[in-house]
Amino acid sequence: MTHIPERMCAGCRKKAPKQSLLRLTAAGGSIIIDEKQNIQSRGIYVCRDEKCIAAMKKKKSLSRLFRQNIPDELYEKLIEKCKNGACSTQRGGFSG
Ligand SMILES: [Zn+2]
């Protein structure tokens, strides 16, 4: 039995294998998508789903986690990226 590391989505709070989630981290006052999930700084996981990013925006999850003010435009940018393909790179056939 292989152990698959799971992380909780900050939007819908569902658990999923971390590879299927998007890892976000703070860098230089901005929020970036940690595609390789190996940046050594505090990160947050969210489903590859614009709905979950919108839910985080509503809850201001990133502001709380990164202890800085995250403007709404930053969430909007993430949602845009999501629509432009960042969310569609589903790995391992996971869907849900
Ligand atoms: Zn989610």
28 alpha carbon – ligand 1 mean position (Å): 25
For residue 58, give its domain range.
6-86
| Tens digit of each residue's pLDDT (9 = 90 or more) over 59-77 | 999 999 999 899 999 999 9
| Tens digit of each residue's pLDDT (9 = 90 or more) over 14-73 | 999 999 999 999 987 788 899 899 999 999 999 999 999 999 999 999 999 999 899 999
Give the pLDDT confidence score for residue 93 in this predicted structure. 44
CB of 48 closer than 8 Å to CB of 33: no
Does the predicted model carry a pTM greater than 0.85? no
In a domain, 92, yes or no: no
Give the pLDDT confidence score for residue 95 in this predicted structure. 44
CB of 51 closer than 8 Å to CB of 90: no
What CA–CA distance (Å, rounded) separates 92 from 17? 10
CB of 31 closer than 8 Å to CB of 78: yes
**Ligand 1 ion: residues within 5 Å (CB):** 9, 11-12, 47, 52
Give the pLDDT confidence score for residue 35 in this predicted structure. 87
In a domain, 91, yes or no: no
CATH of the domain at 57: 3.30.1230.10
- Give me the number of domains the chain comprises: 1
CB of 43 closer than 8 Å to CB of 30: no
In a domain, 37, yes or no: yes
In a domain, 32, yes or no: yes
What CA–CA distance (Å, rounded) separates 90 from 22? 10
In a domain, 94, yes or no: no
What CA–CA distance (Å, rounded) separates 61 from 52? 11
In a domain, 55, yes or no: yes
